[in-house]
Amino acid sequence: MAAFIAENFRFLSLFFKSKDVMIFNGLVALGTVGSEELFSVMAFHCPCSPARNYIYGLAAIGVPALALFLIGVVWNNHTWNLVAECHKRGTKNFSAAATFLLFGSIMGRAAVAPVTWSVFSLLRGEAYICALSEFVQPASLDKFPAEYGAEALARFPCRDVPANLTKFRDEVTRRLKYESQLFGWLLIGIVAVLIFLTKCLKHCCSPLSYRQEAYWDQYRSNEDKLFRRTAEVHSRVLAANNVKQFFGFVALDKEEKEMVQEFPVESAQPSPQWNAITGVYIYREDKGFPLYSRLHKWAKGVEGNGPSPEAHEMLFLAS
């Protein structure tokens, strides 16, 4: 049982597996903070009306967070690798725990921006005060006038209240801001603990040494850069050849002419090759030699994605 748990927890390496991911998450968080500040200054206006405050306050926190979460899911490469994997090969190569942890990785990375938005919204407190001011019990306020009720409390965020309620407005605002900031700090603490535990589990359960994992990160980064650069050149040369075949000539600048002469392209890559290098990749070794990506596996002529007598596959996912 311990071996099974350790094996599947290797999928947790999807979180924070490289410095690039940490830097990216930091940039996402900073961008979210700036967006939240802009939203608060330009767009947030509490309606100060019973029954509307609550809906508007929660929407101001929840709707942007939901939008940021969905954007994060869409921008995550794992999302589309998983879609391609399910479409081409199904999920037969993954256990239930592996699939769950893969989804967890996608959701975890997508949660960076919405969590940041929620934290800073709570620390500012404006949306929380707007949402809950009308629910403050008048009995909890010392000598609160009996003739005023929820409608007067709902107007506290807008500050246009009778003079005799000013001190109560300040007290209610201070109390709700305290609660909002408390929830914000607690959320920061919970996220920090989760990140710490994830990092510990990742390093404890990784089947690779620190140096090999660092090398794997470098390989993936270099392979991706070279693949994108080469694909751009290949597509441009192929397009130039097709345009020339249609018109009889092609208008190229000096740099493009040199490119066409230096990199002859006969045809596009066949679909089976694209399918072979697309999808979720699980770290595997072939006769003791590591295979660092689907492209690497294809180049070595290793077929399939499941374990075989000559190829040992470890449950360790790559981006």
Kindly indicate the confidence band of residue 288, based on its pLDDT and cuts at 50, 70 and 90.
confident
3-state secondary structure of 214: helix
3-state secondary structure of 306: coil
CB-count exposure of residue 62 (10 Å: 0-12, 13-18, 19+):
middle
Residue, of 315 and 258, whose pLDDT is higher: 258
Residues 6+ apart with CB under 8 A from 217: 17, 18, 19, 20
- How far, in whole angstroms, is CA 270 from its chain's centroid? 32
Mean pLDDT to the nearest integer, 158-184: 86
Rounded Cα–Cα distance for residues 305 and 12 (Å) = 20
Predicted confidence at residue 33, as pLDDT, reads: 60
As given in the structure block, the two tokens for residue 104 are 């967890």
DSSP letters along 216-268, please? HHHHHHHHHHHHHHHHHHHHHHHHHHHHHHHHS-----HHHHHHHHHS---SP
For residues 238 and 268, the answer to whether their CB atoms sit within 8 Å is yes
Q: What is the pLDDT of residues 65-109, one digit of tens each?
A: 999 999 999 988 888 877 877 777 666 666 666 677 778 788 888
Q: What is the pLDDT of residues 188-218, one digit of tens each?
A: 999 999 989 888 877 777 778 888 888 988 9
How open is the CA angle 25-26-27, to the nearest 5 degrees? 90
Give pTM, 2 decimals.
0.68
